[in-house]
Structure 1
Amino acid sequence: MGNRLTQIATRTGDDGTTGLGDNTRVSKDSPRPHAMGDVDELNSHLGLLLCEPLPQDVRELLIDVQHQLFNLGGELSIPGFELLKDEAVLQLDAALAHYNAALPRLQEFILPAGTRAAAQAHVCRTVARRAERSVVALGKQEAARETPRHYLNRLSDLLFVLSRVLNRMDGGDDVYWKSERLARGADKDVD
């Protein structure tokens, strides 16, 4: 593949616009750049998660997800273009079924906590949800395929499941929300 980036600082965005892959320019605060930015941020957070000690199968899965998110970013940058395939959603469905099968049923909500890797997976999950909302917002303004929305929805679910898997590494567990603490705390706040 040839060199795609020859110059990083072009100054063309100084006017508050950004260039899309089809050579059109749009405002940086329009829905498409928002969606592109949220997907890029998610990919960056996954890169940070990949700095943690992870099981090799989880590492390989997340690296594949990074490539798929790059495809999604490319698709978002070119209106009407398709890069993210339906098969990518099916791969997430299979991973969800695989990792969720080994986990105990939840009896209560869990906190986005535990090990550093699990907490980072929760950060990725919340950014995936934001990226999904951005893609939904874009779809309300312009014609958009369902696959990107489905992919981000499944990915956020998978990241939740992986956070539980990562908390169990080395004998750990989920950090459960204790609703009675909320009730006791509310009593103390009343004057």
Structure 2
Amino acid sequence: MKKDLRFLCYPYMRESVSTVDFEIRTDSLTTRIGHAAALTKDMEGVQADLQYLQPMAYHLNGSVRGKLAISEEDLGQLSEMYDFYCEKVHDKIQSFVLPQGSEAACVLHVCRSEAKKSVRALHKVSLEREVPQILFDYSHLLANVLFVMAVYVNDQAGVEEIPFVSKSYPERKRRKNA
């Protein structure tokens, strides 16, 4: 008897390897990027960048189990995107800020968090199998791009960033990352 696929949301769900968790994390990231793109329809450049990043997150997803689909050129494009947004909000990313602001910026902060979770899931995969360094570089940079995009979107909406000063760690100047 043929298995009824309507009762199967993902064919690898029962695998015990961490690859499954990475794929589920990056699927969530891709979905959140789509949400952010929907909220930035009035910000043509941001929306176009998010529409570019959304399939790239799926390429990242498949690059562990399947064929490596992230290239040096892709990493270069992401790096250029990071530089563009950093240049626009340089003065606003010198300290840690709270993830708040406009709805689009808040969703971008959720995207950033999902990207970080994807990095962590990728690390778990690397404990079980070889993972190309470019996937780590891309996923870390993607989290940082999503952070600076969130700050940029707040800036464009006239929303001020709220610095966060930790009581747990000594204050230090923020590097250009999330």
Aligned match for 2:137, one of 150, 155, 159:
150
Structure 2 counterpart of 1:168: 155
Structure 2 counterpart of 1:73: 61
* 1:113-152 deviation per Cα after TM superposition (whole angstroms, max 9, x unaligned): 0111111111000110000111111011101111111111
**Partners of 2:166 and 2:113 in 1: CA distance:** 22
SS of 1:134's equivalent in the other structure is helix
TM-score (norm 1): 0.76
Aligned match for 1:85, one of 61, 64, 71:
71
Structure 1 counterpart of 2:6: 9
Aligned match for 1:41, one of 23, 28, 34:
28
TM-score (norm 2): 0.81
Task: Pick closer, same or farther for the CA change 1:107–1:150 going to 2, 3 Å.
Answer: closer
Task: Pick closer, same or farther for the CA change 1:65–1:53 going to 2, 3 Å.
Answer: closer
Report the more deviating stretch, 64-73 or 36-45.
64-73
Aligned match for 2:49, one of 61, 67, 71:
61
The answer to whether residue 137 in structure 2 is matched with residue 140 in structure 1 is no
User: How far apart are 1:172 and its partner, in Å?
Assistant: 2.1
Number of residue pairs aligned between Structure 1 and Structure 2: 162
- Contact between 1:28 and 1:34, CA under 8 Å: does it hold in 2? no
User: How far apart are 1:27 and its partner, in Å?
Assistant: 3.6
**Partners of 1:141 and 1:117 in 2: CA distance:** 36
SS of 1:144's equivalent in the other structure is coil
Q: Which amino acid aligns with 1:47?
A: G
In our comparison, the structure showing a higher alpha carbon Rg is 1
Structure 2 counterpart of 1:187: none
SS of 2:64's equivalent in the other structure is helix
CA RMSD of aligned residues (A): 2.2
**Partners of 1:179 and 1:154 in 2: CA distance:** 24
User: How far apart are 1:8 and its partner, in Å?
Assistant: 4.6
- Contact between 1:135 and 1:149, CA under 8 Å: does it hold in 2? yes
User: How far apart are 1:108 and its partner, in Å?
Assistant: 3.3
Task: Pick closer, same or farther for the CA change 1:141–1:41 going to 2, 3 Å.
Answer: same
**Partners of 2:63 and 2:71 in 1: CA distance:** 10
The answer to whether residue 71 in structure 2 is matched with residue 95 in structure 1 is no
Structure 2 counterpart of 1:183: none
